[in-house]
Structure 1
Amino acid sequence: MLERSRRWLLAAAALTSGLALVAATGPSTARPARAGFTLPAPTGPERLGTVSLHLVDTARTDPWVPSHPAREIMAQIWYPAQNTRGYPAAPWLSPGAVPHFAEAFGLPAETVRSTSTHGRVGAPVDRKPGGRPVVLYSPGLGGDRGTSTALAEELAGHGYIVVTIDHTYDASEVEFPGGRVEVSAVPAEVDDQVIAQAVAVREADTRFVLDQLAAVNAGRNPDAGNRRLPDGLRGAFDLNRVGMFGHSLGGSTAAATMHDDPRVKAGVNLDGTLVGASAVAGSDRPFLLLSSDHGTDPEDPTWDTFWANQRGWKAELRLNGSTHGSFNDGQVFYPQAARALGLSPEQVAELVGTLDPRRSVAIQRAYLRAFFDQHLRHRDSRLMHGTHPRFPEIEFVR
């Protein structure tokens, strides 16, 4: 797992390491692109609303572009909606970001541009007394905030508020209101020092976002352009019940943030090597490690260090038949794009594993929700107690 994860970090791929392969080789036997990728529908009873926020941290000079006197990021809130009629579906990737994304990674631009989510932009919030639990999401290095939309939507569909974060200049591209697009400024030579800096920046971004959620909950609007927020967002968050998950370097970000910020009560690392002292130091709060199927490769030593240091509830699971790229939306996009890209079944399996992507998404959704239900809602889940007959693909490692 260490080598697979590290290669992914060093390549700075936005969805999976295979995106770089597609960009390099080109779709030599390409067929016409289809209208748009289809994301699996969330299984929960809630209708989904979403809104993006342009947040500016004036306390920080941008660490990747020091000529910028403030750190700017985009965050997106996914929430249960009171009603969605008349509100437009949110795109998977903002339109201005699509050309760079498509050119960099070789996916058909029109297909990406036409891909919609199940969230409705600006729909009124369905509030609950005391607020709803909140889950933060950090993508892998190079990834956009939407790269695990299938998981974010599932949590929101079951009553969580999910906040996904674009780490500007680390992400492949970020579009800001007005159409300005900022692309990655991570150095071409990605070494340990660069990766450590990325985790530190991401943690600071995450803690800043938490501060801004508190402002929204109190009735203030932190959006830099003062764009209208959905009705009912004030008081919608229960910030005493905050969790976080992330894929690859986003998983390391979750571990580091949990160690340093007690506001985060539970965390999940999806197949990420843990980078830096805070990430491996553990905490006294629950944390789940979920790895890809790395066969006979040795255990990631950073996971061993974390395991020895972790004082709170802990578990390590493995999703058999998966790869490192199985933990984001690439796993459902690649099979749909295979003909357009000229990918063989063997190449698709290399990208997303041998486990059927629909099954993989269903399993990840079930375990992610069970973990947060148990530790943020105090609903005991049988899935967290050992191998379950409904999900034989999940192996309890320790």
Structure 2
Amino acid sequence: MPPVHPTRRSLVLGGLAAAAAAVAPAPPAYASASGLVPVRLAGPTGPLPVGAVELHLVDRSRTDPWAGGPRELMATVAYPAAEVRDRPLLPWLSPGAERALKARYGGVLDGYALPLTHSADRAPARPGRRPVLLYSPGAGSDRTFNTLVVEELASRGYVVVTVDHPHDSGEVEFPDGRVVRSVGEDSEEEVVAAVAVRAADLRFVLDHLTVLARGGAPGAGPGRLPRGLRGALDLTRVGAFGHSRGGAAAAALMDLDDRVRAGADLDGTVFGPVVGRGLDRPFLLMDTAGHDGLVKDPHWPEFWRNLRGWRRCLRLADAGHLSFTDIVALAPQLPPGLPLDVGTVPADRAVAAVRATVRAFFDLWLRGRPDTGRLLRGASARYPEIGYIAG
């Protein structure tokens, strides 16, 4: 899905319905027992198994600007697990969200089984206090669309909380079976408002994590947290990152909340007051040659000038807007000709480079580990796809 200026919307596996309807699925090389062609994601490379739990959260202090009533969210917490044997793996998308996504894409994907993650549902958490990262997806995308990066971080000792933003994220399924779809926007003013809602969502989630760590209820439902997860949340070491509009949300959150010590924006235009105010804490920008954020983007140059802390702009070579997400790895397994903006960078190289760069950034600023691989200087022999633009 090509991004739409000025929002760089990640209408992943959605939008452009007429183009999608014209694409015929490729003959499957093999099929599962269900007759569907299986689509797979690679597992994380870190030493720790990954557990995850889904949370239904309700913020009764805010009114949902699209639907009225209290603002409801869905989030997934991924974390290092103590033991995952015999635990079911969470799906990449819940059943209702998968049906909605396939319908949004005109039936082209009906013959495909979307992947499982490598996160064991409600596995007990591994002992130890972990840095906490908040992740916001692109507009029209879902919180699971960066599972490759999220699970990598969790397998290396982070707790990562991915957040869906109903009516802005692609398709959000709640425990009662409701599925809320993205509504889109018609103007930059509406995008600025949507980013502000996302920042408030993330701040509420961070507040809720504080409640969880103190023994509070896990969410709107009756379920319990996995054993040991409360004690794993080190809320003195919090970071935020996102893709596309989610990167804008990470910046906006940092503008609102100084509990967030570092942030990263993966190829997303920045919107709202933070553009003019800037930030005084570390912030990483990543773009593509097609985006060229410090030259072509309408807001990056001003935002860059107003960053007063450590700052870096890096570029993923030969990439498209969706090369920062799971879509770069899924695209080769899906019917040819789909309008997926993943560039020409090999999928495995894009995944490895983005994983390593995000990890190096948060390792530096939340764990105090030096960038020995020179990734943040765009000078890594191991990841030549990452180039230095400015700093």
TM-score by length of 1: 0.90
The residue type equivalent to 1:326 in the other structure is: S
The residue type equivalent to 1:395 in the other structure is: G
Name the structure 1 match of 2:210. Answer: 214
**Could you tell me whether the CA contact under 8 Å between 2:10 and 2:244 is conserved in 1?**
no
Question: Matched residue of 1:7: which SS?
Answer: coil
Matches within 5 A, 1:153-172: 153-172=151-170
Name the structure 2 match of 1:72. Answer: 72
Name the structure 1 match of 2:34. Answer: none
Question: Matched residue of 2:228: which SS?
Answer: coil
Residue 278 (structure 2) pairs with residue 285 (structure 1):
no
Question: Matched residue of 2:99: which SS?
Answer: helix
Matches within 5 A, 1:232-247: 232-247=228-243
1:57–1:95: structure 2 CA closer, same or farther, 3 Å change rule? Answer: same
Aligned length: 378
Name the structure 2 match of 1:24. Answer: 19
Aligned partner of 2:344 among 316, 337, 354: 354
Residue 60 (structure 2) pairs with residue 61 (structure 1):
no
Question: Matched residue of 1:389: which SS?
Answer: coil
Name the structure 2 match of 1:377. Answer: 367
**Could you tell me whether the CA contact under 8 Å between 1:88 and 1:120 is conserved in 2?**
yes
Question: Matched residue of 1:372: which SS?
Answer: helix
Name the structure 2 match of 1:308. Answer: 305
Residue 98 (structure 2) pairs with residue 108 (structure 1):
no
Question: Matched residue of 1:60: which SS?
Answer: strand
- Cα distance in 1 for residues equivalent to 2:22 and 2:148: 26
Question: Matched residue of 1:50: which SS?
Answer: strand
Structure 2: unaligned runs, 5 residues or longer: 32-36
Residue 249 (structure 2) pairs with residue 253 (structure 1):
yes
**Could you tell me whether the CA contact under 8 Å between 1:40 and 1:358 is conserved in 2?**
no
**Could you tell me whether the CA contact under 8 Å between 2:89 and 2:117 is conserved in 1?**
yes
Aligned partner of 1:395 among 375, 387, 390: 387
- Cα distance in 2 for residues equivalent to 1:80 and 1:258: 25
- Cα distance in 2 for residues equivalent to 1:28 and 1:260: 44
Cα offset for 1:41?
1.5
Question: Matched residue of 1:269: which SS?
Answer: strand
Name the structure 1 match of 2:220. Answer: 224
- Cα distance in 1 for residues equivalent to 2:322 and 2:286: 13
> CA-to-partner distance for each residue in 1:106-152, whole Å, 9 max, x for gaps?
45145344x10000001000021xx1001110001111110111110
- Cα distance in 1 for residues equivalent to 2:276 and 2:287: 16
The residue type equivalent to 1:274 in the other structure is: V
Cα offset for 1:277?
1.4
- Cα distance in 2 for residues equivalent to 1:386 and 1:324: 19
Question: Aligned Cα RMSD in Å?
Answer: 2.0
Cα offset for 1:313?
0.3
> CA-to-partner distance for each residue in 1:163-218, whole Å, 9 max, x for gaps?
0000011112111112221222445xx21111011101000000000011111111
Residue 353 (structure 2) pairs with residue 363 (structure 1):
yes
- Cα distance in 1 for residues equivalent to 2:201 and 2:110: 29
TM-score by length of 2: 0.91
Residue 122 (structure 2) pairs with residue 122 (structure 1):
yes
- Cα distance in 1 for residues equivalent to 2:17 and 2:181: 19
Question: Matched residue of 1:221: which SS?
Answer: coil
The answer to which of 355-364 and 380-389 deviates more is 380-389
The percentage of counterpart residues that share the same residue type is 46
